[in-house]
Structure 1
Amino acid sequence: MKLSILAFVGAAIAEIAGCFAFWAWLKMGKSIWWVLPGVLSLAVFAYLLTLVDAEHAGRSYATYGGIYIAAAVIWLWVAEGVRPDRWDILGMCICLVGASVILWGPRTAV
């Protein structure tokens, strides 16, 4: 489980960094060369999600969504210098609770 959490966190960082590279190029007027590390980062993101110990890809992606939202709020603060407000934090916590239910909820045989 510890490897899965690390893979989720690493994937979130890689996805945000990769998407930000495109954002910087298209919205901030940065050089097109920003796209190359962005594409590499997105490839790392996809690879890291395959390391997650989950039986079904959809459940893994749903869990990852909560981790991604938390990482995006942290990115907002650390990389963009915008301090999250109470609504950002509340929304992030709700998503993490949802991700936890999906990841660790008891499964019964059907």
Structure 2
Amino acid sequence: MTVVRSIVLFVIAALAEIGGAWLVWQGWREDRGLLWIAAGVLALGAYGFVATYQPDPHFGRILAAYGGVFVAGSLAWGVVVDKFQPGKWDYIGAGICLLGVAVIMYAPR
């Protein structure tokens, strides 16, 4: 159950961080305005709190593992939201990153 909880928290964190960055991007680069930017800043702040709920007590381990989730999540966001088409190497790279997440977070200690 702890692994499932951790994975769910990683997904929520990814949605908050990637979504927050996307909102800032839309507000600034696409001229959608300050409300988009403010919403992005709030979402990015929420990401910081979500990470604190991970069951592992080590900040560095969680942030390192989250890096892999961020890579894969960013590509997925691009596919769903921006209609980006990743190539074979994008998928392979994301898979390697997720394998790294599994080793860092869930390997026996």
Query: Structure 1, unaligned stretches of length 5 or more?
Result: none
The AA in structure 1 aligned to 2:47 is: F
Q: Structure 1, residues 21-74: CA drift from partner, whole Å, max 9, x if none?
A: 111122112112111211221121111101101121100111111111111010
- Number of residues of Structure 1 aligned to a counterpart in Structure 2: 107
**Is the aligned partner of 1:8 residue 2:7?**
no
Partners of 2:57 and 2:107 in 1: how far apart? 13
Give 1:90's aligned residue. 92
Partners of 1:37 and 1:22 in 2: how far apart? 8
Query: How does the TM-score come out when normalised to structure 2?
Result: 0.92
The AA in structure 1 aligned to 2:38 is: L
The AA in structure 2 aligned to 1:16 is: I
**Is the aligned partner of 1:73 residue 2:75?**
yes
Give 2:57's aligned residue. 55
Query: Structure 2, unaligned stretches of length 5 or more?
Result: none
Deviation at residue 105 of structure 1 after TM alignment: 2.4
Partners of 1:39 and 1:27 in 2: how far apart? 15
Q: Please, what is the CA RMSD of the aligned residues? A: 1.1
Give 1:33's aligned residue. 35
Give 2:66's aligned residue. 64
Q: Show structure 1 runs of 4+ deviating over 6 A.
A: none
Query: How does the TM-score come out when normalised to structure 1?
Result: 0.91
